[in-house]
Amino acid sequence: MKTLKLLSSMKNSKGLIVHTIVGLLIGYFLLHPVSMVIYWFEMNDMDFTMANFTRVFYDSIAHTFSLHMMPMSVAFACLGAIIGFGSGLYYMSIKKKDHALYGKRQLLQQSIPIMIEEGENEFVEFKPSLRYDYRQIKTDKNLEDVILKSIAGFLNAKGGTLLIGVNANGEILGLANDYWTLKKKNKNGFQQRIILLVSNAYGKDVCSKIHISFHLIGDKEICTLLIEPSKEPVYFVEQNRTLFFLRMGNITNPLTTSETVKYLQTN
Residue 105 lies in a domain: no
Kindly report the CATH number assigned to the domain that includes residue 169. 3.30.950.30
Same domain for 124 and 70:
no
Residue 223 lies in a domain: yes
Residue 111 lies in a domain: no
H or E, element range at 111:
helix 70-118
Same domain for 248 and 202:
yes
CA distance 208 to 190: 17
Q: Are 245 and 125 in contact (CB under 8 A)?
A: no
Same domain for 144 and 236:
yes
Same domain for 255 and 125:
yes
pLDDT beneath 70: ranges in the chain? 1-12, 41, 45-48, 60-64, 97-110
CA distance 42 to 120: 68
Backbone φ and ψ for 250, nearest 5 degrees, come out as: -105, 25
| DSSP state letter for 42 | H
What is residue 7's predicted lDDT score, i.e. its pLDDT? 36
Which structural domain, as residue segments, surrounds residue 253? 119-266
Same domain for 67 and 147:
no
Residue 110 lies in a domain: no
Residue-wise pLDDT tens digits, 25-38: 888 877 877 777 77
What is residue 70's predicted lDDT score, i.e. its pLDDT? 78
Same domain for 146 and 56:
no
Residue 102 lies in a domain: no
Number of domains in the chain: 2
Residue 78 lies in a domain: yes
What is residue 110's predicted lDDT score, i.e. its pLDDT? 56
What is residue 219's predicted lDDT score, i.e. its pLDDT? 93
Same domain for 238 and 125:
yes
What is residue 106's predicted lDDT score, i.e. its pLDDT? 52
What are the Cα distances from residue 127, in Å, to 19, 166, 178? Answer: 45, 6, 12
Same domain for 71 and 146:
no
Same domain for 256 and 179:
yes
Work out the mean pLDDT of the chain and round it to a whole number.
Answer: 85
Residue 217 lies in a domain: yes
Same domain for 141 and 81:
no
Residue 114 lies in a domain: no
CA distance 157 to 149: 12
Same domain for 252 and 126:
yes
What is residue 4's predicted lDDT score, i.e. its pLDDT? 34
Same domain for 208 and 152:
yes
What is residue 5's predicted lDDT score, i.e. its pLDDT? 41
CA distance 183 to 150: 24
